[in-house]
Chains A and B, each alone.
Chain A
Amino acid sequence: MTEAANFEKETAGSVTEAPAMLELVDLQVFYGAIQALKGINVTVRQGEVVALLGANGAGKTTTLRTISGLLQPRHGEVRLGGERIDGVPSHKVVELGIGQSPEGRRVFPVMTVLENLEMGAYRFKGVPKDDLERVLDLFPRLAERRTQLAGTLSGGEQQMLAIGRALMGRPNLLLLDEPSMGLAPLIVQQIFEIIKEINDQGTTVLLVEQNASQALQLADRGYVLETGAIVMEDDASALLSDPRVRAAYLGEGAA
């Protein structure tokens, strides 16, 4: 392929040729004697939204926790921009440009919305004003509730806060762990629209979801995890029309 063709392809919006940002190579993670990840390989390229799908207990959260340094792999590597980052403690991983909205949102309940966002910018000296403005623009609901304690917010608002807080750390790669969990369909819709906007603004996203249809509509590519192993990987549109995915994760033609 010529340079010009490459250029055309990128400007056309495809990111498949973009350099790999995050690579998981033969990643194996154990809880004691139990193996939670059985050697998975995942690549996330610059600018992509990649969905990691799977049922409860498939190892989705374990994958994210390993990337962010909360868990150490027994075998395999986590690479960011080609460099190994497994073994880096979690408070250092954020400095490498990885932000996370953890499973269950985990906002600081007895801090205000504003304080939660400021915690997201903890790695910086002071709180960058433009980041704060950007996040409050993205989530007008949070702007309205900035002095309210985070523990008193609704589930959807807490999810927005968790994502906004992660953005305050100015991540190049945003890890989202089940942002749709326990939320009403309308709110899920809103949150996915915002994730799209965040990606359009240049942040790469690794999205862990049980809500496969929402996730695949948004994502460029997807992986399906089953009991600690990747069983499928493809473009999101291909996965969305794959009969196995439709049967297992979209509730069609069951049994």
Chain B
Amino acid sequence: MNLFHNFWDYFIPGLTTGSMYAVIAIGYTLVYGVLQLINFAHSEVFMMGGFGSLVVLSELAPQSPHGFTSVVWVIVGMIAGALVGALTAFGLEKAAYKPLRKRNAPKLVFLISAIGASFFLYNLAGKLWGRNPVPMPELYTNGEVFSVFGTPVKITQLIIIGSAVAMMIGLDLVVNRTKMGAGIRAVAQDAETAGLMGVDIDKIISRTFIIGGLLGGAAGFLYGFGISGQVWFTVGFLPGIKAFAAAVLGGIGNIRGAMLGGLLLGIVENLSSPLFGTQWIDVTAFVVLILVLMFRPTGIMGERLGRSA
């Protein structure tokens, strides 16, 4: 039992993974908000973002950049990941969901379509880039920046946490302070009435997918760059399902809930590893989810289900 000796050794990686989960979870929760649909193909948006940035960086980035150039290539990688993610999410909505929406298909059909799209996308990636992990070009030699109570904090961890926080703040501002954000919230609360106010629901849904895709794709880059060091065709599965759990934990449909849920899940599962052993990390994450839902079925910040529609 070395948790309390090395608390920060587990906390900092936990915060790092947690902020990743949070950014991915926003994608699930945003789409759920406007469509009441769990977009199970979101993990593939994440994966495509990872590959997209990997391709761009391996083509363009120099061998082991350092200093200022490293910063530039991190930004390039993140933008590439975000754009590929957004494009994937946009295409996904157009191909897998919109046709069903136009035909008023039952919810279950959307779910099947989501799973189908997910299979298609990761097999497409397997076809394009092979089924073995592809290493992400190294942008940093992972130097220690400073230490917290004796625990070294790596530059990659700082970058992941920092950019995740920046993305979360940015998203929060977009949703709460812009007209598009008001449209997204209105559609989430009452789509039909939003339409009566002049909100083009199709446009809002499409933009919601794009925003979720930008975040998910950027997260795909960050994961390959700073956590796994490589990208492979099923890389999205575990982070995707964890982020979905995080979104449910925080209260699905609630954006700040998804952020909180992601951070909590990442921290809790990492802290559990010295207690129960690393092999129990994934189990712990889902046990926590089940326990929270037993006492708060709507999630930590969820209220939608408790409210009459």
A residues at B contact (CB < 8 Å)? 68, 70, 89-91, 94-95, 100, 102, 106, 108-111, 115, 118-120, 122-123, 151, 165, 169
In the assembled complex, the Cα of A110 lies from the Cα of B304 at a distance in Å of 10
In the assembled complex, how far is the CB of residue A21 from the closest CB belonging to chain B, in whole angstroms? 19
With an 8 A cutoff between CB atoms, is B201 at the interface? yes
A108-B190, A151-B307 are known contacts. Are A90 and B195 too (CB-CB below 8 A)? Answer: yes
Task: Check A106–B190 contact: CB distance below 8 A.
Answer: yes
Task: Check B182–A122 contact: CB distance below 8 A.
Answer: yes
A91-B200, A91-B201, A151-B307 are known contacts. Are A108 and B195 too (CB-CB below 8 A)? Answer: no
A70-B192, A102-B193, A108-B193 are known contacts. Are A122 and B185 too (CB-CB below 8 A)? Answer: no
Could you count the A-B residue pairs with CB atoms below 8 Å apart for me: how many are there? 61
Chain B neighbourhood of A151, CB < 8 A: 307
In the assembled complex, how far is the CB of residue B206 from the closest CB belonging to chain A, in whole angstroms? 14
Question: A169 is contacted by which of B186, B197, B200 (Cβ under 8 Å)?
Answer: B197
Besides A70-B192, A165-B197, 15 other A-B contacts (C-beta < 8 A): A68-B196, A70-B195, A70-B196, A89-B195, A90-B192, A91-B196, A91-B197, A91-B200, A108-B193, A118-B182, A119-B186, A119-B194, A122-B198, A123-B198, A169-B197
With an 8 A cutoff between CB atoms, is B288 at the interface? no
Task: Check A119–B182 contact: CB distance below 8 A.
Answer: yes
Task: Check A120–B197 contact: CB distance below 8 A.
Answer: yes
Chain B neighbourhood of A122, CB < 8 A: 179, 182-183, 186, 197-199
A122-B179, A122-B183 are known contacts. Are A106 and B193 too (CB-CB below 8 A)? Answer: yes
With an 8 A cutoff between CB atoms, is B113 at the interface? no
Chain A neighbourhood of B298, CB < 8 A: none
Chain B neighbourhood of A169, CB < 8 A: 197-198
In the assembled complex, how far is the CB of residue B254 from the closest CB belonging to chain A, in whole angstroms? 10
Chain A neighbourhood of B195, CB < 8 A: 70, 89-91
Task: Check B307–A91 contact: CB distance below 8 A.
Answer: no
Chain A neighbourhood of B194, CB < 8 A: 108, 119
The total of chain B residues at the interface (CB under 8 A) is 18
A109-B307, A122-B179 are known contacts. Are A90 and B196 too (CB-CB below 8 A)? Answer: yes
9 A-B pairs with the lowest CB-CB distances in the bound complex, closest first:
A123-B198, A94-B198, A90-B195, A106-B193, A108-B189, A122-B198, A122-B197, A91-B195, A91-B200
Chain A neighbourhood of B189, CB < 8 A: 108-111
Residue among A70, A108, A109, A118 with the highest chain B CB neighbour number at 10 A: A108
Can you name 27 A-B residue pairings with CB atoms under 8 Å?
A: A70-B195, A70-B196, A91-B200, A94-B196, A94-B197, A94-B198, A95-B198, A100-B196, A102-B192, A102-B193, A106-B190, A106-B192, A106-B193, A108-B186, A108-B190, A108-B193, A109-B307, A110-B185, A110-B189, A111-B185, A119-B199, A122-B179, A122-B183, A122-B186, A122-B197, A123-B198, A169-B197
Chain A neighbourhood of B185, CB < 8 A: 108, 110-111
Q: Across the two chains, which residue of chain A brings its CB closest to B179?
A: A122
Chain B neighbourhood of A165, CB < 8 A: 197
Task: Check B201–A111 contact: CB distance below 8 A.
Answer: no
In the assembled complex, how far is the CB of residue A149 from the closest CB belonging to chain B, in whole angstroms? 11
Task: Check A91–B182 contact: CB distance below 8 A.
Answer: no
Chain B neighbourhood of A108, CB < 8 A: 185-186, 189-190, 193-194
Q: Across the two chains, which residue of chain B brings its CB closest to A118?
A: B182
In the assembled complex, how far is the CB of residue B79 from the closest CB belonging to chain A, in whole angstroms? 29
In the assembled complex, how far is the CB of residue A127 from the closest CB belonging to chain B, in whole angstroms? 9
In the assembled complex, the Cα of A56 lies from the Cα of B67 at a distance in Å of 73
In the assembled complex, how far is the CB of residue A104 from the closest CB belonging to chain B, in whole angstroms? 10
Question: A102 is contacted by which of B186, B196, B199, B307 (Cβ under 8 Å)?
Answer: B196
Would you list which residues of chain B between 170 and 225 have a CB under 8 Å from chain A? Answer: 179, 182-183, 185-186, 189-190, 192-201
